[in-house]
Structure 1
């Protein structure tokens, strides 16, 4: 592929190539096959739940609850796969946390979770040691959550084949804040119209991509990617930054300034994670 020059003809060709890659992605990927990007009913919703452990948190208690109570209960109502992650050793964030990704078919399904859990006798029994802890023995400081709706470029979550067999795999969770809703929607447009195929061509494998509906950092979009190991992660992002199609796309005038802040988390999966 030729590196795009400054003249408008080559720029147009570069954008056309990017659009072609996106078309291939939409029709070849098992995540999007058969999905109508204009039909909201085909798009999943995600809760990204972060247990902020704090100084006195009990990670083992949260892990036990998630593994033996919450995830089995979610799976019983056909919610899954559920991902559970912790910061990697080289993550630059200074807060101890456990991050949980809960996919759902709709926002209503996420909104009804607490009611359904309270009516699940098996869940209540399995969660009893966790739920009975009091203020002086709380296993975490707070829970922070955001809800996302999947985007046209990836309407359903996908865990690449063989992912769970690789103990060296690492993940990146990235949150792109925008200064206002207009710019946030333009960043979504940028993903939907070219950025994801460049990811794939560079070795960046998305697990989910979503726009925030509610959360503490809206407007934003959030996505999770997975790599065979950390070296592969670093090489993939180097390839992305150097990709000729990215050189074109990032210079499209309407996409300038669409991201005001990036939160990046390098993560490893918990042994019981389903992602």
Structure 2
């Protein structure tokens, strides 16, 4: 996994995963009220072998709620269906009101006592995530509003 570059990663994610009709409908209704300066953040978590289920449980049961509490809006989450990423990668899209807000949101998240407790408990048997890739994005002028 460490040898995989961003281009290989993005090529391995099916493009249709980002424009599926149900997701597009959900995103359209959510973001029609998004502020003009909103930024989207594409995050890719590369897990240690055998740790993806632990990460998914942590997101499902804790992380998503804590994100929302700190202004990090959950947009969509994916797991790849093909190798080499299958079974060891979580890809997700979140949004923030602005890039400055993103910095503040992430700091508040990291400082959250509940998050610190959840992270420690979930990593009692070792680290889960080996590497995180983060890309901030804005919509193009020709993009459907999500």
Q: TM-score, normalised by structure 2?
A: 0.75
Distance 1:188 1:176, change over 3 A: same
> SS state of the match for residue 235, structure 1?
helix
1:263 aligned onto 2:114:
no
1:203 aligned onto 2:120:
no
* Aligned match of 1:101: 18
Aligned to 2:61, which of 181, 193, 206?
A: 193
* CA drift at 1:206: 1.1
What is the rounded CA distance, in whole Å, between the counterparts of 1:210 and 1:255 in structure 2? 25
* Aligned match of 1:162: 33
* CA drift at 1:161: 4.4
Question: In the comparison of the two structures, how many residue pairs are matched?
Answer: 128
Q: Deviations over 1:104-156 (max 9, x none)?
A: 56xxxxxxxxxxxxxxxxxxxxxxxxxxxxxxxxxxxxxxxxxxxx9xxxxx9
Which consecutive aligned stretches of 4+ in structure 1 deviate over 6 angstroms post-superposition?
none
Q: Deviations over 1:61-86 (max 9, x none)?
A: xxxxxxxxxxxxxxxxxxxxx9xxxx
What is the rounded CA distance, in whole Å, between the counterparts of 2:107 and 2:125 in structure 1? 21
Q: RMSD in angstroms over aligned alpha carbons?
A: 2.5
State how 1:240-251 maps to structure 2 within 5 Å. 240-251=109-120
Higher relative contact order (Cα pairs below 8 Å, separated by 6+ residues):
2
Structure 2 residue runs without a partner (length 5+): 1-12
Structure 1 residue runs without a partner (length 5+): 1-46, 50-81, 83-99, 106-149, 151-155
